[in-house]
Chains A and B, each alone.
Chain A
Amino acid sequence: MPGTITPIVMPKWGLSMKEGTVTRWIVQEGDEIAVGNEIVEIETEKIASALEATDSGLLRRLVAEEGDLLPVKALLGVLVEGEVSDDEIDAFVEGFVVPEDDDEDDEEELGPAYLYAETAAGRLRYTSQGEGAETVLLVHGFGGDLDNWLFNIDALAAESTVVALDLPGHGPSPTPIPDPSVPGLANAVLEFMDAADVGAAHLVGHSLGGAIALALAASAPGRVRSVTLVCPAGLGPDINRDYIDGFVSSASRRQLKPVLENLFADAGLVNRSLVDGVLRYKRLDGVTESLTALADGVFPGGAQSWVEPGLIAGLEAPALVIFGAEDRIVPASHADAASGATVEIVDGAGHMVQMEAAPRVNSLISAHIARAAG
């Protein structure tokens, strides 16, 4: 049987990524690679993370060297299944052409990057990737947007249709938040599901989005096939209100950077682009007022106003709770209250565990969805 050559290429994490730096090879030439193995660490303008293998095979060639800055889709290495000679691999590497990273071409290939749904709360931006039978709906947290899932969308889209939205008051064209409470936002997400033709979905909510997902699973059980709560609010009273207030009030990079460092176990992940992206959002007219109203609605007086861990046990849909062990925004000990849920604590990660430990979180979510879908 003739062998096959599969390229390992620079991934595109998030819609704005153009290039990345190879910081460390995790595997060596000659290693047998299985789907899901972490193979190489990549640093982008946004963050550093490990690339997971999407194909299996024998790693025959490392093309990229550590320290190389390469465009998206550049050749990093060569995987081989079956019999392939060194000459054939040389010829493959020699003849490899990096496709032009042209946004317009991407749109033709993959469909538009962003879609918009008209809801009672206004026009909400979202993205839809993948074509799987099961739909996964990703709900970000306080002050976030759908890019909080940039390391998760593609991985989950390999098996499912992945929809990620900007909550009211969030994203690049924020609308006012009609009802700044957990049940109010759960209702807004339900209206979004109607507007975007999302029938029933596996809800994945991060932080405040976790509380929203839990509230929605309890109030509209027919629309929710499973829930994954990532560092969720809603399980206990504690919230780092200093973080929330600092996030709302910081107007400059110098003020905001130390605030954002609370989100990660490794503060070094908070780089210039990450801070600038948050500042771009916060500078928009109306955002400070929206976030202030939201903070006062969901975290009044420095405690969470909506604490309903008891809902989990009554859910028809199976529940998974994931915390970063070093979460400094919502304490991981809140997982103790999640009776009825599977609980996973991820070491070495903070509140943005879905970014900081993306491969681990992706595999936990995928397995949970597969179990729930039967």
Chain B
Amino acid sequence: MARNLSMNEAVNEALDQEMARDPAVIVMGEDISGGTGAPGEDDAWGGPLGVTKGLSVKHGDRVMDTPLSESAFIGAAIGAACSGLRPVAELMFVDFMGVCFDEIFNQAAKFRYMFGGKAETPVVIRCMAGAGFRAAAQHSQMLTPIFTHIPGLKVVFPSNAYDAKGLLIQSIRDNDPVIFFEHKNLYDTKTDVPEGLYTIPFAEANVVREGGDATIVTYGQTVQRSLDAASTLAKEGIECDVIDLRTLSPIDMDTVLESVEETGRLVCVDEANPRCSIAADVSATVTQEIFGSLKAGVRMVTAPHTPVPFSPALEDIYIPGADRIASAVRQTVAN
């Protein structure tokens, strides 16, 4: 039966059902249960935004509060993964990756390769990302490109509750390290989510709207903004394909190329800073592979090359909005 669930409920349900199905799945992170040093207050927090609330009651010590030391608990999760468990570690905000990045990029990402395929690291690192939450420059970044740069990491970014549940279950069952992004501004958005377990395969982009005049490629929070732009443009007679990449490593370029071969026009929308971003990557690949199909220059709509501002007025215009996306599409179509 399908019900409307919010994205944080969908993430919670995926963790709950996979823990019930597979005893090797454990969940760990800062304050995901009661908060360290708070005996007698189990399940008080459920993470800073309550996403894991209720899990410790159902699954006991398989839901572990950790010390406030990312390098320790992310390292422990990766070690546990190599030793037969399937840990889901919550890094809280992705902005904290700096203190545990050696474990991620130089250890977890390399084990399969350096041990000749004999080691597997089935760890999931969940992290909140993105701007619009009034959390300032150190808690609002879109650091996806840093992870897609590293071979050996898989990078997942759902834009809605249905995808979040299916992609998280797929991530837990995957035998490689997966960085699972959750956009703070999407937690309350609701969609139909099946009760049972299901998986969405990696590297399968979702064509969320079909148009034919121009292609918009994006992920995460800007999927809905791109759809809003496409609705506005449809009233002007411009019909857009809107592609939600869903996974950034591996990435489904076939769907993008197929669409651009038909439309000849591409707008890449990315909440990350522009240089070496997902938008830059997709633009370069399309230009290299099917230059002859392009009818206009590729355009990117991204955040500026600055930290995320704390001023609400500035933060709002920092994130690519429907207006900017629509005007970029108009520019490609005018050519």
Report A's interface with B, CB cutoff 8 A. 114, 125, 172-174, 251-254, 271-272, 280, 283-285
Contacts and interface: CB of A to CB of B under 8 A. Distances in A.
Contact of A284 (B162, B198, B207): B198
B199 A172 contact: no
B114 interface: no
Given A172-B194, A173-B195, A272-B207, A252 B201 contact: yes
A272 B210 CA distance: 8
A142 to B, nearest CB: 20
A90 to B, nearest CB: 27
Nearest to B209: A272
A253 B201 contact: no
Given A125-B1, A252-B201, A283-B166, A173 B207 contact: no
Given A252-B204, A254-B255, A272-B207, A173 B199 contact: no
Given A114-B1, A272-B210, A254 B196 contact: no
Interface of B: 1-2, 162, 166, 194-201, 204, 207, 210, 254-255, 258
A251 B201 contact: yes
B194 A284 contact: yes
9 closest Cβ pairs, A-B complex: A285-B197, A283-B198, A284-B198, A252-B204, A173-B1, A172-B194, A172-B2, A284-B196, A251-B201
B166 A253 contact: no
Given A283-B166, A284-B196, 9 more contacts: A172-B1, A172-B194, A173-B1, A173-B194, A251-B201, A253-B204, A254-B258, A271-B210, A280-B194
B196 A285 contact: yes
Contacts of A271: 210
Nearest to B195: A173
Contact of B207 (A125, A172, A251, A253): A253
A289 to B, nearest CB: 13
A29 B196 CA distance: 50
B98 to A, nearest CB: 36
Contact of B199 (A114, A174, A285): A285
A75 to B, nearest CB: 21
A285 B198 contact: yes
A337 to B, nearest CB: 39
A271 B207 CA distance: 11
A280 B197 CA distance: 11
13 contacts: A172-B194, A174-B196, A251-B201, A252-B201, A253-B207, A254-B255, A272-B210, A280-B162, A283-B166, A283-B198, A284-B194, A284-B197, A285-B197
A271 B200 CA distance: 20
A251 B252 CA distance: 14
Contacts of B210: 271-272
A174 B1 CA distance: 9
Contacts of A252: 201, 204
B212 to A, nearest CB: 12
A7 B86 CA distance: 60
Contacts of A253: 204, 207
A251 B210 CA distance: 20
A283 B246 CA distance: 16
A114 to B, nearest CB: 7
A129 B195 CA distance: 25
A174 B194 CA distance: 11
Contacts of B194: 172-173, 280, 284
A254 B259 CA distance: 12
Nearest to B4: A103
A125 B195 CA distance: 13
Contacts of B207: 253, 272
Nearest to B197: A285
A252 B198 CA distance: 14
Residue in B196, B197, B207, B258 whose Cβ sees the most chain A Cβ within 10 Å: B196
Nearest to A123: B1
A36 B204 CA distance: 43
Contacts of B204: 251-253
B199 A283 contact: yes
Contacts of A173: 1, 194-196
Contacts of B197: 284-285
B200 A283 contact: yes
A55 B2 CA distance: 35
Contacts of A283: 166, 198-200
A103 B49 CA distance: 30
A125 B197 CA distance: 17
A114 B210 CA distance: 30
A272 to B, nearest CB: 6
A99 to B, nearest CB: 21
